[in-house]
Amino acid sequence: MTAFATNGLARAHHTWSTTTPAPGARQILLVNLMPTKEATELQFLRLLDATGVNCDVTFAYPASHQLHHQRAAVLKHYLPLDRLWGTRFDALIVTGAPVEELSFDQVDYWAEFQRLVAWSKTHCRRAIFECWAALAALNVRYQIPKAPLPHKLFGIFEARVNPASPLFGGLTKLRMPQSRHSVLRLPATLPANLQVVAKSQGIADGLLLATKDTRELFITGHPEYATDTLDQEFHRDQARGRTINPPQNYYRHHQAVNSWRTTSCRLYANWLTI
């Protein structure tokens, strides 16, 4: 295995094999904002492991966040961000969070998140922000606002990409799960250092934005999702009485089909080795 968990619930519960860290492995800080902590850990560990790039993954949480799920376990097996401000990492990954229907300043860890975005510029060689974290980081970095969608953007979406870009080596297209209620309100002219590098029909803001050096990625979806994650979310929302359509481009003969795994692994592998 190439992904070593230095801490976290999957390591504590032995749902991820504890291997010996590889010499020279990339040090990755993964800030897990999801309430489904262990499931999210495993999704990212499997994705990173599939890249073939040796990684030591440290899981962290915002110290200012009021934990409502598995509080004791998270406090025991995660590191709070306020213990890491003096540490440097090869890469930062920040997950999505189920807070996108709130305004940014209503999120209890918003001030700490703003500090995280600023800190990443000086303490991490590269960074990925996913889903809500992508929208939030773009707001912090470039003051780009978000707006609510009339209906949840939900399903698998595809974009053609430029294989000449080091980010997309080995790829001609990118597939990605989307599961969100908000959209970026991109300006007519993007900030000088920002570009949309993967745009999909039917999605106003694109699948992926990046800085010109491609070391910072703002991914509006979830390349890490397991095959059944969208199916679970669909039935969860139905059970809660929400009006929701089945995820697009996802089911085949009433079965969930994972059509994004290969491109997700290549995207992450390319990003880690740029």
Specify which residues 217 forms β-bridges with.
Answer: 128, 210
> Is 222 annotated in the active site?
yes
3-class secondary structure, 35: coil
Supply the angle between the helices 37-50 and 261-273 in degrees, to the nearest 10.
Answer: 70
Q: What would the two tokens of residue 11 be?
A: 């390591």
Report the 10 Å Cβ neighbour count for 148: 9
Pairing of strands 26-31, 89-94: parallel
Among 55, 112, 124, 131, which one carries the catalytic annotation?
Answer: 131
Q: How many residues does the chain have?
A: 274
Pairing of strands 124-130, 216-219: parallel
Among 38, 100, 216, 222, which one carries the catalytic annotation?
Answer: 222
Among 224, 235, 253, 254, which one carries the catalytic annotation?
Answer: 224
> Is 224 annotated in the active site?
yes
Cβ(244)–Cβ(237) under 8 Å? yes
> In sequence order, what are the residues at sequence separation of 6 or more whose Cβ sits closer than 8 angstroms to the Cβ of residue 244?
152, 154, 234, 237, 238
Indicate left, alpha or beta for 7 from its phi (over 0: left) and psi (-120 to 50: alpha): beta
The distance of Cα 258 from the centroid of its chain, to the nearest Å, equals 17
Q: Which phi and psi angles does 105 have, rounded to 5°?
A: -75, -5
> Is 131 annotated in the active site?
yes
Q: What residues are labeled active site?
A: 131, 222, 224
